[in-house]
Structure 1
Amino acid sequence: MPSNRLQRFLAELGPGLVTGAADDDPSGISTYSVAGASFGYATLWTALLSFPLMAAVQLMCARLGMVTGRGLASVIRSRYPRWVLWFACSLVIVANVFNIGADLAGMADAMQMVSGIRAYLWTPFFACLIMGLLFWTSYRLMARTLKWLTLVLFAYVVTAFLARPDWIAVIRSTFTPHLEWNKDYISVLVGILGTTISPYLFFWQAAQEVEEDRDHGKMTVTQRRGSTNKELRVAKRDVITGMLLSNLIMYFLILTTAATLHAHGNKGIETAKQAAAALRPLAGAGAYWLFTLGIIGTGMLAVPVLAGSSAYAIAEGARWRSASLNLEPGLARKFYAVIAAAILVGLAFDYAKLNAVRMLFLSAVLNGLLAPPLIIMVVLLTSDRKVMGNRVNSPGLRTLGWACVLIMSAAAIALLTFLG
């Protein structure tokens, strides 16, 4: 029965869907809004580029966790010198802490729009709220609840149609790559790639596949090692669905801001209020509430993922035995201490008086610069028979992985050339 197949499909969605939803965090919303407002429809084609690249990298990470029974940092530790391990972990932690601060600032800025209460009061509120939820509830329970809140982002899909864009121009821009050799365009391109293919998602995806096995009673690496063809097929559907959702929302966010802000000559986004104006054609003053729910909903989902992936990276690298978001804090003190530290350091960034939207965009650019070396490690590890056995990457998956490295590296080098 079709309904039974649909129910089974929805029931099988898990880490991939949550990862995809978390990818459209306040940093992503800001970056896509900047792209649409600054360059109109000119960057729509990037959604078709990023989807297969993002899906390939995340699928590699999922397969790595399922086949080895260990997280990404743990596998890196077993195959490479310690300096490589801590170099990789340092990259993701630096990017994560900056991203946490940016997301908290974006959430606070959005909340100020509808409440009138200053943003600097909301940042510690959200930081404490998220830590409280992580410490005193199961993350899985919180994720299952909050991921549905991200459905508010489909308001951008509806708005894209209500904004009456030039559909001929939209179709042309979607299928015709457009490049401009200037700092602003290249920084937007790096930002789009960085917020879509983010380092923290690599660690998170592998770690959550391990957590899935732990939930099924597989507590040791030996018990978790190896996966059936059916399990790998289910994971593939889960990952592709999550990445498709992520890129779909990205596409319509760019389209919406292009058809509203850019079309009306408002090409420079400096505040979250300007970004929220993209929803005005949908609900007038109510658009501010919709935008706030989108920012806060995705932020509530993304900040735990950012902090959690940092904790997983350090715990796996240091070989801590008790490291899981489903353990009580008393049973994993060091693990939760890293989570708290990541959130609190990120919070400290919010008092540096940086523009919230600009900070969100810069965090995406930072991710774009740091991602390539981590992707190289992922491709090498998942192509190594000593790690994956006969579950190594297929030629197509490996080709997409290296293509991702080349494209992101070329964009990063181009940006560094302009900055230099």
Structure 2
Amino acid sequence: MIKRWFQNIGPGTLVAAAFIGPGTVTLCTLAGVNFGFNLLWAMLLSVIATIVLQEMAARLGVISQKGLSEVIREEIKNPFFKQFITFLILAAVVVGNASYEAGNISGGILGLETILGKLIVEIGSISINLMSLLIGVIAFILLYIGNYKFLEKALVTLVLLMSVSFLITAIVTKPNIIGVLKGMFVPRFPEKSLLTIIGLIGTTVVPYNLFLHASLVKERWNKKEDLLSAKKDTIISIILGGLVSMAIIISAAAIQIPNITNAADLAKGLAPLYGEFAKYFLALGLFAAGITSAITAPLAAAYVAKGCLGWKIDLKSKKFRLVWIVILFLGVLFSSIGIKPIEIIKFAQVANGMLLPVIAGILLWIMNKKSVLGKFVNTKTQNMIGFFILAITIFLGAKGILKVFNLI
């Protein structure tokens, strides 16, 4: 049974790998430390929204055999609007992922340093972290091989390692089950929690994942009969990802120590209370989260550039490789010279939550076009759920903007 499950596992796991990066780990840690179990409902809502939107992206990829950015480019007829949307997508995904990449690699470094200690070389007045070079080299090798099935298997292994690490950490803290269930099913808005709620949604329902998923499913499946496999893969993988995020919140809620700013602090905070092995499990999970996102972020950016610019190329082509190499290089550069990732990651996650309504709205529009999907367009129920999710993202995004500018 396990062997068959491994054979059927697919792009959904890469989507889970992409959204559980150091940004998610950091925000979930802060949510647990600052608000206990009270924001678990926001994560549950995020998981449901992610399943709905990613299923649409997967269905689009299987039926049209095109990526989301390719379909957008073809379906928007107005030249000005097409250029504006293309620019918006390129800026948000390619430039955004370049800034995320430093955080992804830095997150992986935090995990390694928790176990191995720091490994820094001084060259003149510049300090270079050799751990970032190690993570960069691993990510480069996996991406450069350019074989989708090999990449998928490598990421699945890392995701399972990450999942087991974080879930064991949560179990070790022996959480109050009634408190956890209340946090999941009774929405609460503690004071000063709004930006954290928006961040949790923005870090789970990630716009670039919609582009990545639509592009990856066509590497794996190319027949209408494959839709059920794609749907199962999406649901199982995203639920697993959601459980991991909730496990981090639950673990962090057990810590009564102030001044926790990232998962490495959480790992150190767990050690005296729950033993050294809790620290090692968490650090291992953080390393896996960093490296999986360090691979998927450049990959997503390359797929988006390919679709937006109309390139007819594959994973091994020079143009495709150039995009992910530039993003990976910037990530390694910024993380190796020690730019602090925590505030950048938090800001980027909130910005992601505000960009989401635009991408989700475009996706819903496309999912109702028979010229693209034929009889596989959204049902009335799918549209109702989709527009409900869109309304929530617009509402939270608007409140977030007002809150940032101190207007509410």
TM-score, normalization: structure 1?
0.86
Deviation at 1:79, TM superposition (A): 0.8
Whole-Å separation in 1 of the counterparts to 2:357 and 2:96: 13
The amino acid that maps onto 2:35 is F
Indicate the residue corresponding to 2:124 in structure 1. Answer: none
Find the counterpart in structure 1 of residue 41 from structure 2. Answer: 45
What residue is the counterpart of 1:397 in the other structure? Answer: 382
Identity of aligned residues (%): 24
Tell me the CA shift for residue 181 of structure 1: 5.3
Evaluate the alpha carbon distance shift between residue 13 and residue 136 of structure 1 in structure 2; reply closer, same or farther with a 3 A threshold: closer
Q: Which residue of 1 aligns with 2:165?
A: 155
Matches of 2:191 and 2:386, distance apart in 1: 25
Cross-structure match for 1:277: 268
Match of 1:132 in 2: 141
Aligned to 2:64: 68
- Over aligned residue pairs, what C-alpha RMSD do you find? 2.2
Q: Alignment partner for residue 178 of structure 2, among 162, 168, 183?
A: 168
The answer to whether the Cα contact below 8 Å between 2:62 and 2:214 also exists between their aligned partners in 1 is yes
1:57 alignment counterpart: 53
Question: 2:86 aligned with 1:85, yes or no?
Answer: yes
The corresponding residue for 1:98 is 99
User: In terms of mean alpha carbon deviation, does 67-76 or 102-111 score higher?
Assistant: 102-111
Change (3 A) 1:112 1:156: closer
Q: CA deviation at 1:290?
A: 2.1
Q: Deviations over 1:150-196 (max 9, x none)?
A: 333333323333323233322222211001353xx111111111110
For residue 219 of structure 2, the aligned residue among 211, 236, 251 is 211
Q: SS of 2:312's equivalent? A: coil
Residue 123 (1) aligns with residue 162 (2): no
2:329 pairs, out of 320, 344, 354, with: 344
Gapped regions of structure 1 (runs ≥ 5): 214-223
Match of 1:249 among 216, 239, 244: 244
Match of 1:145 in 2: 154
> Using the alignment, how far apart are the partners of 1:284 and 1:204 within structure 2?
39
**Conserved? CA contact 2:165–2:284, under 8 Å:** no
Higher mean C-alpha deviation, range 368-377 or range 82-91: 82-91
| Matched letter for residue 208 of structure 1 | L
Q: Report the alpha carbon displacement of residue 243 of structure 1 after superposing the two structures with TM.
A: 0.9
Q: How far did residue 389 of structure 1 move?
A: 1.2
Change (3 A) 1:307 1:69: same
Determine if contact 2:270/2:279 at 8 Å carries over to the other structure.
yes
Instruction: Give the Å deviation of 1:271.
Output: 4.2
The alignment status of 1:383 with 2:383, answered yes or no, reads no
Deviation readout 1:208-248 (Å, 9 max, x if unpaired): 012124xxxxxxxxxx5xx42x3111111111011111111
Shift of 1:139: 4.6
Q: Does the Cα contact within 8 Å between 1:95 and 1:366 map onto a contact in 2?
A: no
What displacement does 1:320 show?
Answer: 1.4
Deviation at 1:368, TM superposition (A): 1.3
The residue that corresponds to 1:370 in the other structure is: 355
Tell me the distance in 1 between the aligned counterparts of 2:6 and 2:50.
21
| Shift in Å, 1:9 | 4.2
Question: Relative to structure 2, which stretch is displaced further, 21-30 or 33-42?
Answer: 21-30
Over 3 Å counting, the alpha-carbon distance change for 1:286 and 1:137 in structure 2 is farther
Measured in 2, the distance between the counterparts of 1:318 and 1:111 equals 38
Q: Which residue of 2 aligns with 1:219?
A: none
Deviation at 1:353, TM superposition (A): 4.8
**Structure 1 stretch 14-23 or stretch 335-344: which is displaced more?**
14-23
Distance 1:195 1:90 in 2: 18
Counterparts in 2 of 1:280 and 1:235: CA distance versus 1, 3 Å: same
Counterpart pick for 1:180 among 190, 202, 217? 190
Q: Do structure 1's residue 334 and structure 2's residue 329 form an aligned pair?
A: no
- Once structures 1 and 2 are overlaid, which stretch shifts more, 231-240 or 345-354? 345-354
1:94–1:54: structure 2 CA closer, same or farther, 3 Å change rule? same
2:15 maps to which of 12, 19, 30? 19
- Taking a change above 3 Å as real, the CA distance of residues 51 and 234 of structure 1, as seen in their structure-2 partners, is same
- SS of 1:350's partner is helix
Separation of aligned partners in 2, 1:396 and 1:279: 44
Is 1:301 the counterpart of 2:309 in the alignment? no
- Give a deviation string over 1:121-155, Cα, whole Å, max 9, x none: 32233223311331136353133134223333333
Question: 1:21, 1:242 within 8 Å by CA — same for their partners in 2?
Answer: no
* TM-score in terms of structure 2 length: 0.89
